[in-house]
Structure 1
Amino acid sequence: MLGTRLNISFAVTKLAQHSANLSDEHLQKVLYICCYLQGTPEYQLIFNGATQQGLAAYTDADWGIDPNHQ
């Protein structure tokens, strides 16, 4: 997701937080993302190889320790 389709990264990350206990609403959102991906196959990331700069991504991996975070 981070290396290929950054436009869905937030939605996929939020859904992953509920992966252990998905509700019907979560499953509907997963299907929505899948339909979106199927309808936008021409979307892509293009990097300029001449600059020798790669993709840098950062994440906050400790979201689970925050009891108030939903």
Structure 2
Amino acid sequence: MATVFHEYVPGAQSAFAELVEAVKHAEVKHVVVASYRELALKRSLQNAMLAHLTYATGAEVISLDEYS
């Protein structure tokens, strides 16, 4: 694990933007999240954020929830 990104203000996107830039810069192939709910509470926003992250970086997002 390289970095943990945490958003301190609900609804803010600065940590997510930093994540996207870090993934691009490091040419990361996989991003692991504990749960997609760590990205957003609503499924539609989760899907939009996952699509943006994948499109902008080419990285696969893996949720640990899928393996429990």
Under a length normalisation based on structure 1, what TM-score does the superposition of the two structures give?
0.29
Bigger Cα Rg: 1
- More helix per residue: 2
Under a length normalisation based on structure 2, what TM-score does the superposition of the two structures give?
0.29
